[in-house]
Structure 1
Amino acid sequence: MSEIRHIVFDIGKVLIHYDPEIPYSRLIPDVEERRWFFDNVCTHEWNLEQDRGRAWEDAETALIALHPVHEDNIRAFRRHWHEMVPHAYEGSVAILEGLIDAGHDVTMLTNFASDTFEEARRRFTFLERPRGVTVSGEIRLIKPDRAIYEHHAESFGLEPAATLFIDDNALNVAGAQAAGWQAVQFVSTETLKEDLRRFGVEV
């Protein structure tokens, strides 16, 4: 196992909670109707294109053309985005800040729309502490595509084999490993501590 010299954190569901159900449980109270809406209108795949760099205005226009009767709830996705990210995960933020304070090289790599990331950065000031961040919406590359890992490594001078990536999504973990990185799936704060120690990183 290579010595870990670089640690890269995902953000959503690793450092910050994200759940679109929070505002929509109020906007679409019926559970089955709400599930249909997420499965057929504001789908994960639709939202992912904003993470890939598509403007919200373009995303809304295209979707409203397909589902005009759902215009209000389509526009509500961006309008109520702030409710979807209600808090940070104190445990994993403490790990991130502890690693930085101990002198480790810490950066972030995230699938995030550029404008919502700027909103998140204003709200969660700890996002300013790592050495830097690659935001998918800014560079129009997205996890788990190999190109985004290579872009991040080149941008921040990381040696892939000496880099440990932390992400909640198994596909993104596999994408990092395919790019030659070490990687672990985030499950909980305690599991992350164990994973870091397994890679020789004391927390």
Structure 2
Amino acid sequence: MIKTIIFDLGAVLIDWNPHYLYRKLFKEEAEMLHFLENICTPDWNEEQDAGRSLKEATDMLVAQYPEQEENIKAFYGRWDEMLGGAIEGTVEIFRELKDSGKYNIYALTNWSAETWPVAVERFDFLNWFDGVVVSGTEKDRKPFDSFYHTLLNRYDVQPSEALFIDDNLRNIKAAEKLGIESIHFTSPEELRKALEEKGVL
């Protein structure tokens, strides 16, 4: 029986995308994509999610790509411009789950500790959770088992009684390996359908 719901945040509840910023900085889409695939890469960003400081990360890339200094510094200097709005369909599902009073609801997120306060200030629903585990604060991240265990142990959650929602298939597989039932998020509509099929909504 499901007693606990665990949400990922980025691309599930919050629309975050570097393209929102870098389309302002690059005239050509191909040039922007090359920059984000080869310089300010997802792998590089994940190291900040795992606790590396924004300054260290920025200085490292500027040293490697001095000709891109301005664009590299913009990644965190103008980070808030990568935030779109809330993904309202998912927020409404969260509200329904919360209002039902049936579940403990937590967030397990890969997010830099230094940018996290910006999100908390902007999105009021982040205060609805019964607990939030932020990778940058823990200096650990998905898909590592230890990060999931941090949440399970801290809030005394049994894997067999939890349901995990994430847009990243890699993270879903890691949760399922630990015995946590999971839903691969693709859209609020598909999530609602999956939750109804499981009798959660």
TM-score (structure 1 length as normaliser): 0.96
Name the structure 1 match of 2:5: 7
Residues 20-39 of structure 1 aligned to structure 2 (within 5 Å): 20-39=18-37
Structure-2 separation of matches of 1:60 and 1:109? 25
Spell out, residue by residue over 1:14-55, the C-alpha distance to the aligned partner (whole angstroms, 9 max, x if none): 000011011101101112211221121101111111100100
Matched, 1:113 2:112: yes
Name the structure 1 match of 2:68: 70
Residues 12-161 of structure 1 aligned to structure 2 (within 5 Å): 12-103=10-101, 104-161=103-160
Structure-2 separation of matches of 1:64 and 1:100? 44
Structure-2 separation of matches of 1:198 and 1:105? 20
Structure-2 separation of matches of 1:27 and 1:8? 36
| Contact 1:9-1:165 at 8 Å conserved across structures | yes
Q: Which amino acid aligns with 1:40?
A: N
Instruction: Provide structure 1 residue ranges, at least 5 long, that are not aligned to the other structure.
Output: none
Structure-1 separation of matches of 2:100 and 2:10? 24
Name the structure 1 match of 2:177: 178
| Contact 1:163-1:182 at 8 Å conserved across structures | yes
Q: Could you tell which deviates more after superposition, 47-56 or 77-86?
A: 77-86
Q: Which amino acid aligns with 2:143?
A: P
Structure-2 separation of matches of 1:115 and 1:188? 28
SS at match of 2:165: strand
| Contact 1:41-1:63 at 8 Å conserved across structures | yes
Q: Which amino acid aligns with 2:176?
A: Q
Spell out, residue by residue over 1:162-194, the C-alpha distance to the aligned partner (whole angstroms, 9 max, x if none): 100000111111111111101011111121112
State the Cα distance separating 1:198 from its structure 2 match. 2.3
| Contact 1:121-1:127 at 8 Å conserved across structures | yes
Identity of aligned residues (%): 38
TM-score (structure 2 length as normaliser): 0.97
| Contact 1:8-1:107 at 8 Å conserved across structures | yes
Q: Which amino acid aligns with 1:150?
A: H
Name the structure 2 match of 1:188: 187
| Contact 1:4-1:200 at 8 Å conserved across structures | no
SS at match of 1:87: strand
Please, what is the CA RMSD of the aligned residues?
Answer: 0.9
Instruction: Provide structure 2 residue ranges, at least 5 long, that are not aligned to the other structure.
Output: none
